[in-house]
Structures are given as C-alpha cells and as structure tokens.
Amino acid sequence: MAKNTAPLFGFGASGQVGKAIVFSNWKGRPYTRRHVVPANPQSTDQTVTRSLFSWLQQVWKLLDSYGTDPWSLYVKGLVQTNRNAFTSANIKAMRGDVDLANMVFSAGAKGGLPPTNITLSSALAGQLGVSLDAPSLPTGWSIVRALAVALKVQDPQTETFYNSVSDDVAAPGPYNITFAGLPSGETWQAGGFFEFTKADGGDAYGVSLSDSQLIS
C-alpha cells in the first residue's frame, strides 16, 4: 500500500474511487491502496487458520490486565496493537495445535527473562497450582511479580470453551499461584511469566513457560 500525506481529494479522504483506489487511515496515517475484492479460500489450511484466528479473538476479549499487559509493552513504539501481536504470535505457534500446548501467553518484552521452570499441580479438588522458578537477574534488575494465566484445554480449531483465569503474586515470592473452583476432571493449560524492573528503571516481561494439568 502507498502512504500519502495529502490524499487525492483533500486531507482526511476515505473510501473508494471507481472501485479502483481506496483511501483509508491506519493509526492516524493516511494511505491509499488498490481496490481488491477479497477471495474466499476454503482449503483445509486456510480454514484452520481462520478458525484459530476467531478463537484467539474471543480469548483476547476474556483476558484481563494480567494477560494483556505483556503484549501492551511488547508493542510499545510499534505500529501494531497488543491484540494483533497476541494473535499473530499465536497463529504462528498454534497452527495444528489441538490442545493449547504451544500457546504463547507472553512473548516477552524489553528483554525480560523467562522462568527457569514451571510446575503445575492439583492437590485438592477443583484447584490448579502454578509454581514458577525465578531466573538469575542481571545487575540492577528486580522482579516485580510473577503472573499466571490458564485456559481450559481444547482444540482451538473446533471448540469454543472460553474459560480463563489469571492471578499474580508479588516479589519476593515464593512464586506460587493457586486457582480454585475449577471443574474436576477438566485439563487446563497454564502459562507463567515474570514482570521485571530493569537497571534503568524501565519495565520488562519475560517469555512465558506453560504446561497442562488435569484438575482433581
């Protein structure tokens, strides 16, 4: 697409001209592009991608700040939204995934470090425990908190159980988070990651680790 500072018929032009040129705006930046009638491909791979895209959009609507904050920092300074970053990363990671095993809960931001280990447990009926081991920190860094987000395991291409829980625990730990009231007999996928303050005072998030657990 071609960007323009003064569209053909004046500043702020939008819409199409003769089904040939389309004027629009992206994050305050006007641009033009050729008018194209979208195709409607129905191959197996394209259908899977569409289904996964739709599932991710619905999951994003359920996430609270625990799940969205790392993506907001990830796109800081980029011409991209946090939701688009979340969707793009997970489409790449999860195509063909039938059990959420490859879901990216945090792609990391500003150089944050991943946990060294994640352990899930279900010691009591209806409970899911998430324990994170902290990484060794660079000089001047500190941990702000550990965060965990969990979803009911499903095939994101065909199922629509939009169940989500999330919580955090502040430093200095131990970094153990427990979710209660989950249905017994279900399997849940949980991702855990850390928020940091860097030596320069800036924020950072680590890449998530994840695992699954059958609820007692």
State mean pLDDT over 154-177: 91
Q: Does residue 18 have a pLDDT over 50? A: yes
User: Beta partners for 21?
Assistant: 17, 34
Kindly list the distances between the CA atom of residue 97 and the CA atoms of 52, 65, 118, 158, in Å, as whole numbers in the listed order.
9, 25, 20, 11
State mean pLDDT over 119-138: 97
- CATH 2.60.40.10 in the chain is located at 44-214
Q: Does residue 188 have a pLDDT over 90? A: yes
pLDDT of residue 138: 97
pLDDT of residue 43: 46
116 or 18, greater pLDDT: 116
pLDDT of residue 71: 98
Q: Does residue 20 have a pLDDT over 70? A: no
Q: What percent of the chain has pLDDT over 70?
A: 78
pLDDT of residue 96: 85
**Cα-Cα-Cα-Cα dihedral sign, residues 181, 182, 184, 189:** negative
Q: Does residue 6 have a pLDDT over 80? A: no
Structure tokens at 144: 């702000």
Q: Are strands 29-34 and 107-109 parallel, antiparallel or unpaired?
A: unpaired
- Reported as a single tens digit per residue, the pLDDT across 31-87 is 666 666 666 555 455 655 788 999 999 999 999 999 999 999 999 999 999 999 999
Q: Which of 120, 126, 141 is nearest to 197 (CA)?
A: 141
- Reported as a single tens digit per residue, the pLDDT across 189-213 is 999 999 999 999 999 999 999 999 9
CB 25 within 8 A of CB 51: no
Q: Does residue 173 have a pLDDT over 50? A: yes
Mean pLDDT of the chain: 87
- Its pTM stands at 0.79
Q: What percent of the chain has pLDDT over 90?
A: 70
CA atoms within 13 A on the CB side of 151: 26
pLDDT of residue 191: 98
Fold assignment, 44-214: Immunoglobulin-like (2.60.40)
State mean pLDDT over 146-173: 92
Structure tokens at 96: 């063909």
Radius of gyration from C-alpha coordinates of the chain: 21
C-beta atoms surrounding 165 within 10 Å: 21
Q: Are strands 117-121 and 128-133 parallel, antiparallel or unpaired?
A: antiparallel
pLDDT of residue 125: 97
CB 150 within 8 A of CB 179: yes
Indicate the SS3 state at residue 30: strand
